[in-house]
Amino acid sequence: MDGQVLVLNANYQPVNICSTRRAVGLLMAERADLVLNGRGIIRLIRGTFPRPSVIRLLQMVAVPRLHARLNRREVFRRDGYTCQYCGKHTPELTIDHVIPRHMGGRHIWTNVVAACPACNHHKGGRTSEESRMFPLHTPQEPSTAAAYVFGHYLQNNADWEPFITGW
């Protein structure tokens, strides 16, 4: 009952991920329709019930504009788990501020990049111009498209792909 279920708005736009328990509650309260049942059945006292994979809300809900959270994992994901100075693909990445914080640089998407420990140490507390180390890609906030926001769930839920990639 703790499995993940994709929740779609009434217009089939991805809205959220919820637990199977919550999805069954929405279905039983007739607030949602079952769109995809790829996970078998749930046995209840009243009989059997399809175990949902994707549900659709019957009424439209206002969806606020999604923002990717600024944290280490999302910075590494945005940068493809690659050092933005030497291009090395390594699991031991650090966060580097392009303009160091002690020089007035802020902790925002456009000022942070993934860097390997060697490049981060070499750059130190200097700007890119002072250290002559420039990021391979200009840092920017990642897309808030459904494919980016919900894309990492596709590894375990391949049947969601048509609903996520369409937006």
Place of tokens 């439209």: 60
* pTM for the full predicted model: 0.69
- At residue 122, the pLDDT reads 96
> Which residues are CB-neighbours of 60 under 8 A, at least 6 positions away?
9, 10, 11
pLDDT tens, position by position, 137-163: 999 998 878 888 888 888 888 889 898
CA distance 95 to 108: 12
Using DSSP's 3-state secondary structure scheme, residue 22 falls into: helix
Report residue 84 as tokens. Answer: 């933005």
Predicted confidence (pLDDT) at residue 85 exceeds the cutoff of 90? yes
Report residue 54 as tokens. Answer: 């994707």
Q: Which CATH class is domain 72-131?
A: mainly alpha
- At residue 123, the pLDDT reads 95
Q: What is the mean pLDDT of residues 51-59?
A: 95
Which amino acid is residue 6, in one-letter code?
L
Predicted confidence (pLDDT) at residue 64 exceeds the cutoff of 80? no
pLDDT tens, position by position, 87-143: 999 999 999 999 999 999 999 999 999 999 999 999 999 999 999 999 999 999 988
Q: Where are the domains of the chain?
A: 4-65+144-165, 72-131
Among 32-41, 53-62, 99-108, which is the least confidently predicted range?
A: 32-41
Q: What is the mean pLDDT of residues 42-53?
A: 84
pLDDT confidence bin for 79, thresholds 50/70/90: very high
